[in-house]
Amino acid sequence: MKTLMIASTSALALLAVPALAQSSAIIDQTGAGSSGSVAMVDQTATAAAADVTIIQVGRGHQATVTQKSDGPTVGDRRDTAYIQQGSFGARATIDQHTAAGAAGSHATIMHGGTSQATTAQYGGGHDSVISQRVGQATADVMQTGGGQVGNVSQIAQFGRSVSATVAQDGQNNHSEVTQTGDTQVAVVDQGGHYNQSTINQSGSGNSAFVTQRITNVAVVDQQGKDGIAYIDQNGGGGSVRLLQTAASEGSVADVGQSVAGGSVDLEQRGAGTVTVRQSGLSVGLSVLQQEASSATVVQGGRISRLAIQQFDGSAGARADVDQGTRNGEILVQQKTAAQADVLQTGTSGYIFVNQGRGAEGSSAGVVQQGDNNSLVLHQRAWPEGAATGPAGSVATIQQIGDGNSALAFQHGTGAQYATLEQTGTANRLSTWQGGRGNQQVTLRQGGSDNFAQTAQGGRPADGATPLDPVAFEDAASRNLVIALEQPGNGNTAVLTQTGRDNLIDGRQSGNGNAAVVTQFGNVLSVEFDQSGNNNRIDLTQDSMFNKASIYQLTDDNVTNITQSGFSNTAVVRQ
């Protein structure tokens, strides 16, 4: 073994290590007033492992280490390079080449002040550690190849303008970047198998870009404002965990994942934007957002599940979902003037959209296309402790396929509008609109064996469900409209209104249609047209100044009208 030691305060220390079995070099440039020193170590002719230690204190130092092992090492002996630089303007470069079968290399760079560090490792079994403190720090790490244990890179930076770039090519790679300070950028690209990347950024103006392939795990934690994270994973079994905390403003998260069994978990506390593209077998997604945030999700594959939650001050939140899958599930929860647009194509899908308390001015558009799909929509614009309010809710639902079912609830203090359309066979829909504002629902069903049930006005009485055809409490609702179209076979409609100045307009054409219509209040109007076979309508109007007009054409039609009160009018044409 050969050991060379140099203690110098001069500007240059140049060391070429001869071809020895095991070599060691130590350079100490820490003398008083040391600055502008240069240390260069070349260990490229050693037959086995070598190690270098360089310590520089002062300003403007440069250190370069080149190591190359031509043959296999004994035991776990590794090429090792350690560089420690203090103060400002330092630059360190480590280049390590390891032959096949070697135990690998280890590189450590410690900086203080304004500094730049670069490590390049080739072969197998490498690891790199870089630590930088306050200043204009930059760290670049490249590890290429596979080996006994795989590459590991750890970078910790503390400063104002810091940047870390890590690229690993091989197997069993692991990269961890920790940045604390201002204006930070960390970019990690891992190619190969079993890669893991953890980036933790704290400060303002942070950015993290992670690209991984095959069975990768990425965790990004950003604490500050203006955080941006792009994660692109391709392979099998990958997972993503991203947190952008409360101090973040205008945070952006963009994730692409194409794996089987992949999962994505995103959380933004502050105004942020999330974009996710996910495909594969049995994938899952969870998004939690606050403030005026938006989420755009495209999910494909089979057995896909996603949950988007936007609340706690998320005024103006928006969720756009496109799920093309089999056995898919979609959950969207929002509050306060939110918007949700959901498209689901496939079979056996389930959608639940909940726009809860404080959801004044919310809107939801849902399209389901496939077989045996089901949908539940709940819009609640009734603020805590408030009796009245200016805004309302809008819902548009379309189901295309067989065996679909839809359940929609709207209630609050403002105007409410709902349009539900089902095209197919054996469809079923139920709606309820409650409150004191204007309410309008339009129901269209085309196909066979359809069933439609809707109720409008007030709040359910104690012990009653919203869809029970009984009188509601708080009958101050007015200007309610129900429009029904059922052009098909075996259709049934159950329609209930409570309030005043209300209208029900129904059209049934086909075979075996039936309607049960109930109105409670004053100045009510019903216009119902049944054209087909075996149609029947049972109509009840309570109180005064009500009108009923029934038109039944063809054969076997039955009309039963009950009007209680005074100044009522009933007209039947058969």
pLDDT, tens digit, 9 for 90 and up, residues 314-364: 567 899 999 987 788 999 998 877 899 999 987 788 999 998 765 567 899
Nearest to 72 by CA among 140, 12, 125, 129: 125
Confidence bin at 502 (pLDDT 50/70/90): very high
In the numeric block, which tokens belong to residue 174? 């692991």
- Give 449 or 97, the one with higher predicted confidence: 449
- Contact call for residues 29 and 56 (beta carbons, < 8 A): yes
pLDDT at residue 459 is higher than 80: no
Q: Which of 100-104, 115-119, 530-534 has the highest mean pLDDT?
A: 530-534
Mean pLDDT of the chain, nearest integer: 81
3 state SS of 415: coil
pLDDT in tens, 288-323: 988 778 999 999 878 889 999 987 665 678 999 999
- Contact call for residues 110 and 133 (beta carbons, < 8 A): no
Confidence bin at 271 (pLDDT 50/70/90): confident
Q: How far is CA 161 from CA 113, 184, 185, 199, in A?
A: 11, 6, 8, 16
3-state helix, strand, coil in the chain (%, to 5): 0, 65, 35
Nearest to 77 by CA among 56, 101, 57, 104: 104
- Contact call for residues 69 and 79 (beta carbons, < 8 A): yes
pLDDT in tens, 144-197: 765 545 678 888 888 778 888 888 887 788 888 888 888 888 888 888 778 888
Query: Beta-carbon neighbour count of residue 59 at 10 Å?
Result: 18
Across the range 437-456, mean pLDDT stands at 90
Nearest to 136 by CA among 163, 114, 165: 114
- Contact call for residues 523 and 548 (beta carbons, < 8 A): no
Query: What burial class does residue 556 get, using C-beta atoms within 10 Å of its C-beta: 0-12 exposed, 13-18 middle, 19+ buried?
Result: exposed
The mean-pLDDT minimum among 24-33, 275-284, 417-426, 480-489 falls in: 24-33
pLDDT at 472: 46
pLDDT in tens, 201-230: 888 788 888 887 777 788 888 887 788 888
- Contact call for residues 297 and 284 (beta carbons, < 8 A): no
The full length of the chain comes to: 574
Across the range 100-114, mean pLDDT stands at 70
